[in-house]
Amino acid sequence: MRGVPIIRTAVVVFLACFAITLCTDAQQAPEEYQRLVDLAQSYKKERNFYAALDQWVKAYALQPSPQVLAEMGKEYLAIGKTAEADESFSKVLADGGEVSLDFLHRHKFGQCYGSLIISTRQIRWVGKGKEDSFQVMPREIGDLQPKTYYASTWRMRGIEIPFFTLRAANKIWTYEFLLYGQGKYKTETDDWTDKYVLYLPNEDLEKFHKATVLIINMLFKLSAPPDATPVQQ
């Protein structure tokens, strides 16, 4: 029976080592998660959306959350994968999360930037101040209208830009989606600009149109009756 204590000792040592390993992994996981999130945000600022998406996917595998999945959806939009973006956003909403998207909001005179925050509970617009913000239930959104206009600047003359309007809080709001988020971008042929350079290449413009339709339909599904017909691509 001398072997029994030895076996027991070996089992105790194994369990102790296993517990230490689990504890170490648990301690390292938050640090690795944050590292991946920081990398994703850094790549996004550089407009390296494929690399950003890769980091978000790794972060989601390590610690699944609606916030990370929403970020994955935005990167999918930026690289033109609308179906994957739609799947990501749908799961975010189904899991009770929020999708925050950046827009250019046009006023009667002038414009501003802000975020439209979408969930199954409420839809919020966060603009420059209280007078330029709202918070309503999805069913209180009305008159969703997809529209387009022709750009008038010399670099974009003749290019058709999509936007949409909606009614919320007794007011009509006009939104133009910022495909790559708020910020300034540079190409080989243009100076720093905060908007128009995004839509010059045909590929960018096509992604912009598809993304706008996806967002309109996401709002439509939340605000309209179940049997209503969504906007077509």
The radius of gyration computed from the CA coordinates of the chain, to the nearest angstrom, equals: 23
Split at pLDDT 50, 70, 90, the class of 223 is very high
Confidence of residue 229 (pLDDT cuts 50, 70, 90): low
- For residue 66, give both structure tokens: 């609606």
Question: How would DSSP label each residue in 149-160?
Answer: EE--STTTTT-E
Mean pLDDT of the chain: 81
Tell me what the mean pLDDT of segment 182-206 comes to. Answer: 52
More confident residue, 186 or 67: 67
The Cα–Cα gap between 163 and 106 comes to 10
pLDDT at residue 161, rounded to an integer: 83
Q: DSSP 3-state assignment of 225?
A: coil
Q: Which residues lie across from 125 on neighbouring strands?
A: 116, 134
| Residue 6 confidence (pLDDT) | 56
Indicate the pLDDT class of residue 220, thresholds 50, 70 and 90.
very high
Gap between the Cα atoms of 89 and 99, Å rounded: 7
- The per-residue pLDDT for 199 is 47
Q: What percent of the chain has pLDDT over 70?
A: 71
Q: Compute the distance between CA of residue 209 and CA of residue 44 in angstroms, rounded to an integer.
A: 21
Number of helices (H), then strands (E), belonging to the chain: the values are: 5, 7
Residue type, 206: E
Per-residue model confidence as pLDDT tens digits over 51-94: 999 999 999 999 999 999 999 999 999 999 999 999 999 999 99
Residues 50 and 79 sit within 8 Å (Cβ to Cβ):
yes
Taking the C-alpha atoms of residue 179 and residue 107, their distance in angstroms, rounded to an integer, is: 20
pLDDT in tens, 7-40: 555 444 444 444 444 444 445 688 999 999 999 9
* Residue 98 pLDDT > 60: yes
Q: How is residue 233 written in tokens?
A: 């691509």
Report residue 4's pLDDT band, with 50, 70 and 90 as the boundaries.
Answer: low
Given a cut of 70, whether residue 198 has pLDDT beyond it is no
